[in-house]
Structure 1
Amino acid sequence: MASSFPYRPSIDGLRAIAILDVFIFHLHPSWLPGGFVGVDVFFVLSGYLITSVITAEHHAGNFSLRKFYQRRIARLFPAFLAMAIATMVAALFIYSAQDLASTGESLAAAVASVINLRLMLQGGYFELSPDAEPFLHCWSLSVEEQFYLVYPILLVLLHRKSRKTLMIGLAGLSLASFALCLVLTQLRAPWAFYLLPTRAWELLAGGLFALKKPGSWMPRTSKWAPLAGIALLIASFALIREARGFPGYQALLPVIGTLAVIAGSGTGQDNWLQRVLASPLLVSIGKLSYSLYLWHWPVFSFVDYKLLFLDEWPRALIKIAITLPAAIASYRLIECPARAALNRPSARVPAFSALAASLLIGIPLGISIRDTNYLNVSGSADIKLTFNEKQTAGSIILLGDSHGSMYGHMVKQLTDELGYRLTVASVASGDPLPLASAGSSTRKSIWEHSLEIVRQEAPDVVILACQWTAKLDQDGSRLGAALEQLRPLTRKIILLTQPPRLPPNATREAIRQGARPPFYEEEIQRTRRLHVNAEVLAMTSENITVIDVENLFHDSQGAIPLVDAEGRLLYHDRGHLSDRGAQQVKARLEDAIKAR
């Protein structure tokens, strides 16, 4: 099912420039600081090509939305699915339980083409932990796929009007999108970066360009526009910096540069730019660009995560050595054959069926992976997670904030082994203790919901773990007040003290940049933590057991261990244990549960 729009090798050459810049930036940002704007080049190219194809087919009288979406499925879906499956399998062996849970959630969002929204709410592109976000690069695919859902219908409707209406309509939408981009970049930069409404002007700019006749944007006699376009792209890649008011007005540089290059390579003349962009090497890389884009980021993430103690250059070489064969294999064995097979008219039903099946399987699977590997109550404080409901050996409730949730995976394993029912009511970023002041809110506090759950369940054991420095620094009496109300409702309460906090130079990124053990807790943080831990330890009584985790997470010299004997990380981040770290506490917790 070939498009009626003629193939232009120079477009693949421009794709090659875009993917190489993104690749180099992700390999090491300092090597090409603005390389991430290669994505903006792809946006313009997508708008240009999609508009060209739809317009050509509309004028020929053979445009069909079903045919259009079938081509999109054939073009994007098979290679994406292969990458997603391989990424989840690798994450299963490489990531901690918490990071695996996050990857599962990202899988669901990526399959549903809304991962840009998830990342927008989670944090800025330049602020996230890149080695634990193997689907991070899929944000741009989500933006394009959202655009594909709306734009073809809009374009066909506008084509039925006058040409003037068509141009004014698209130009008006583009200007509105650009204005929104400028405003949101100042107010909420992550929203401006990830949202389709603030990125649509880049795709629409390519679309508007495609609607003009060749050469009408740039006189054939002009030899400077393509040179200016290349200069603008080079300036973009070299001068634009991450997280400095981007996209905003800065995105004009790669957008205008891309348009000028398209014009300079499409005037019909045999100019130097067209010859360069149509060179066999650039065309080959351009054809490989989608597979390169798909596979490079998961590989980079896993290598950085697993080999964080390895020096920079060996890691870079390993990334390249894995990515290039994976991309080539994906292109030749998956992308090309699948596109040819799924583009056939007879393959329309199988193509749409395969997409639907992937949505129906991929989204629940990702959510299941998240819920299995990170036990945390989110959204509403009155929700609880229950496990092993038919077990009769006893019952346990896990309460707390994110420090309670970081033990959830381990506690679930332990209750499985002991035959206990388990209820998880810990809330990351929540406050599970009585508030100092009830205030005027009519909503129940997390503490009130937690107490209600304990009252209803009447558990044998309540486990409570918190970031005590945040909960008890201002009012140490809050823990005593909580225990006073919990004691009559359960046979035993188990409190866990707060483990040491890693210093700033013990992050994975800092280690990749050269920081090395031993790592010691900052003195001011250690003093605060030991003070509140002492308050927790003082709560020990007849039915209150306190497990002090202090000596599990520092050696005789006070250094904090970062990995276990198998080289697995003990910390998820500076303040939270990984599932491997939580395993260090398992034996003590088991003894406390069994003790009478």
Structure 2
Amino acid sequence: MNLARWEPRKLSASASAHLDVIRTVAAWAVMWGHLRTLFFVDFQHLLHPGWLLRVIYFLTGFGHQAVTVFFVLSGFLISTTVIKNHFSGTWSWREYAINRSTRLYVVLIPGLLLGSLWDIAGSSLFAPAGVYTHPLSDLGLAIATNSLTIANFLGNLFFLQTILCSPFGSNTPLWSLANEFWYYALFPVALSAGIAFARKEMRVAILLGFVAACLAAFLGLEKLIGFLIWMSGCVLVFAYANFPLRAKGWLSFYIPRWAVTSL
């Protein structure tokens, strides 16, 4: 079996720039979606919305879709790195764990500390408004002050939010970091199990396959559905490797790279 055809193709400068643009737009979409949910009523509660309000609500209504875009991009970029390292023989669990943990904790630790500070201050300053003592639409049925506990803080610190504990305080978007962490863990384990199986290293394949199955059972169905979305980015890695864009005149179309090289 020729595995070389599945080796990820290096991103061009223009492709990287386009991905940066997509991430920027998605980040803005998520931010405006959260702001609208927290400070504005739902659209169906508006009595007589004019065209301007309709436009504003439309443009700020793509938060969930933007998060999905982030997951696909994450799957694309992370799986590219992991697969490339396996192909080059430079794969290191230690280096991968350090890089991924650093990437997440740079965001998570300040988020937890600043979130706790603002929530404690907010629950004191705005107590009469009921913001921290009643459910908010962005928090579902959760009440922010109920999750401001040491146990929740530690659970979120180890990416257990929405699995064994709730997101800390009012910072419900922390659920996405938990998803990312466990997808970062599950993918290389499953991939390594598949590679070991292909190499007839059955003991290693069985061990890693068992670990992957345990991780999947621990995460549950909802997060595994999210993992499928994340894995669609990995599918794009193989598509990008084998179906490079080839221009001919004003037409652009995809031709499998393996088909071209076999001619």
TM tier, smaller: 0.5 to 0.7
Matches of 1:90 and 1:68, distance apart in 2: 33
Gap change, CA 1:83 and 1:213, over 3 Å in 2:
closer
Look up the match of 2:208.
none
Extract unaligned runs of 5+ from structure 1: 123-131, 164-190, 226-262, 268-596
Structure having greater relative contact order (Cα 8 Å, sep ≥ 6): 2
Gap change, CA 1:202 and 1:108, over 3 Å in 2:
same
Look up the match of 1:56.
84
Contact 1:116 1:140 in 2 (8 A): no
Structure 1 residue 35 corresponds to structure 2 residue 63:
yes
Look up the match of 2:227.
200
Gap change, CA 1:79 and 1:35, over 3 Å in 2:
closer
| Letter of the 2:27 counterpart | I
Matches of 1:223 and 1:143, distance apart in 2: 40
Gap change, CA 1:220 and 1:115, over 3 Å in 2:
farther
Look up the match of 1:588.
none
Gap change, CA 1:118 and 1:22, over 3 Å in 2:
farther
Contact 2:119 2:169 in 1 (8 A): no
SS in 1 for 2:65: helix
Contact 1:52 1:211 in 2 (8 A): no
Q: Which of 229, 243, 256 in structure 2 is aligned with 1:216?
A: 243
Matches of 1:5 and 1:119, distance apart in 2: 40
Matches of 1:5 and 1:64, distance apart in 2: 20
Matches of 1:103 and 1:218, distance apart in 2: 51
**Over aligned residue pairs, what C-alpha RMSD do you find?**
3.4
| Letter of the 2:158 counterpart | A
Gap change, CA 1:10 and 1:110, over 3 Å in 2:
same
For residue 36 of structure 1, report the CA deviation from its aligned partner.
Answer: 2.1
Contact 1:25 1:35 in 2 (8 A): yes
Cα-to-partner distance string for 1:175-197 (whole Å, 9 max, x where unaligned): xxxxxxxxxxxxxxxx87xx311
- What TM-score does the superposition give when structure 1 sets the normalisation length? 0.28
| Letter of the 2:148 counterpart | T
* Number of equivalenced pairs: 185
| Letter of the 1:147 counterpart | Y
Q: Which of 91, 94, 105 in structure 2 is aligned with 1:66?
A: 94
For residue 216 of structure 1, report the CA deviation from its aligned partner.
Answer: 1.0
Structure 1 residue 138 corresponds to structure 2 residue 174:
yes
Look up the match of 2:147.
102
Matches of 1:63 and 1:215, distance apart in 2: 23
Matches of 1:107 and 1:23, distance apart in 2: 23
Matches of 1:154 and 1:10, distance apart in 2: 29
Matches of 1:83 and 1:210, distance apart in 2: 31
Matches of 2:152 and 2:33, distance apart in 1: 22
Q: Name the larger-Rg structure.
A: 1
Look up the match of 1:114.
160
Contact 2:29 2:63 in 1 (8 A): yes
- What TM-score does the superposition give when structure 2 sets the normalisation length? 0.59
| Letter of the 1:114 counterpart | L
Matches of 1:77 and 1:86, distance apart in 2: 14
SS in 2 for 1:147: helix
| Letter of the 2:179 counterpart | V
Gap change, CA 1:223 and 1:22, over 3 Å in 2:
farther
Contact 1:106 1:135 in 2 (8 A): no
Look up the match of 1:156.
192
Contact 2:29 2:60 in 1 (8 A): yes
Cα-to-partner distance string for 1:215-260 (whole Å, 9 max, x where unaligned): 61766569689xxxxxxxxxxxxxxxxxxxxxxxxxxxxxxxxxxx
Look up the match of 1:80.
108
Gap change, CA 1:61 and 1:20, over 3 Å in 2:
same
| Letter of the 1:154 counterpart | A
Within 5 Å, give how 1:11-30 maps onto structure 2: 11-29=19-37, 30=57
Matches of 1:224 and 1:20, distance apart in 2: 31
For residue 146 of structure 1, report the CA deviation from its aligned partner.
Answer: 1.0
| Letter of the 1:44 counterpart | V
Cα-to-partner distance string for 1:202-225 (whole Å, 9 max, x where unaligned): 111111221344361766569689
Gap change, CA 1:59 and 1:85, over 3 Å in 2:
same
